[in-house]
């Protein structure tokens, strides 16, 4: 059976977290229109593949359609949602086609959800968060107590106004 976009964890997560404009742009590539409200993500999760070869008339029609309907930022957003590498300029015909199968293999992408901010020298940066160093900072503590006391004063004055 064919895999859907929902079968790839990274793409599924990107579909959920992407902006609506990026999702609608991808819907234009997949289905030819921006889709109905509240249906675009669902439709894309169930998208399997295009039913034509790269040399077919449908392929060239789809490529022309995508070039006419979408801007370069839309195409970049689509590549980000699909976790595709993109290179080249707007006029570069040798750049990667969004409609091209890039042989995505989720087994090779086991740690793709980790980014540079969460990985440091092969140690998870979140491991050192257990010591609560953030609250030891005097400035942070002062801001916290000052804002809390402001909030309490405002609440007390509102309660006093209601009681009177």
CA dihedral 22, 26, 29, 35 (to 10 degrees): -90
Q: Is the pLDDT at 124 greater than 50, yes or no?
A: no
More confident residue, 117 or 102: 102
Let me know whether 73 and 149 are in one domain.
no
Whether 36 and 106 map to the same domain: the answer is yes
Q: Are 31 and 46 in contact (CB under 8 A)?
A: no
Provide the pLDDT for residue 23.
94
Range with the poorest average pLDDT among 52-66, 112-126, 137-151? 112-126
In-domain check, residue 127:
no
Residue 115, both tokens: 């980014």
Q: Are residues 75 and 28 in the same domain?
A: yes
Are residues 67 and 104 both part of a single domain? Answer: yes
pLDDT at 106 over 50: no
- Is residue 106 in some structural domain? yes
Q: What band does 162 get if pLDDT is binned at 50, 70 and 90?
A: low
Each residue's pLDDT tens digit, 1-34: 588 999 999 999 999 999 999 999 999 999 988 8
In terms of domains, do 140 and 98 share one? no
- Shared-domain flag, residues 72 and 148: no
- The tens digit of pLDDT for each residue in 94-104 reads 444 444 444 44
Same domain for 159 and 88:
no
Residue range(s) defining the domain that contains residue 109: 5-120
Clarify whether residues 93 and 12 are in a common domain. Answer: yes
Whether 54 and 85 map to the same domain: the answer is: yes
The beta strands (E) that lie in the chain are given as: 119-120, 123-124
Are 97 and 137 in a shared domain?
no
What total of structural domains would you count in the chain?
A: 2
Judgement on whether residues 141 and 70 belong to the same structural domain of the protein: no
Domain check: are 77 and 145 in the same one? no
Which residues are within 8 A (CB) of 164 and not within 5 positions of it... i.e. 6 or more apart?
A: none
């Amino acid at each position: 059976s064919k895999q859907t976009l929902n079968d790839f964890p990274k793409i599924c997560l990107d579909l959920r977290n992407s902006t609506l404009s990026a999702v609608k742009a991808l819907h234009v590539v997949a289905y030819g229109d921006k889709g109905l409200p509240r249906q675009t993500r669902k439709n894309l999760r169930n998208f399997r593949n295009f039913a034509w070869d790269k040399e077919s008339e449908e392929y060239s029609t789809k490529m022309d359609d995508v070039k006419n309907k979408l801007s370069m930022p839309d195409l970049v957003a689509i590549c980000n949602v699909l976790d595709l590498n993109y290179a080249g300029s707007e006029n570069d015909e040798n750049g990667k086609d969004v409609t091209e199968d890039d042989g995505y293999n989720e087994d090779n992408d086991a740690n793709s959800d980790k980014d540079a901010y969460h990985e440091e020298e092969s140690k998870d940066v979140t491991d050192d968060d257990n010591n609560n160093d953030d609250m030891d900072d005097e400035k942070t503590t002062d801001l916290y107590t000052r804002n809390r006391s402001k909030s309490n004063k405002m609440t007390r004055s509102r309660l006093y106004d209601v009681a009177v």
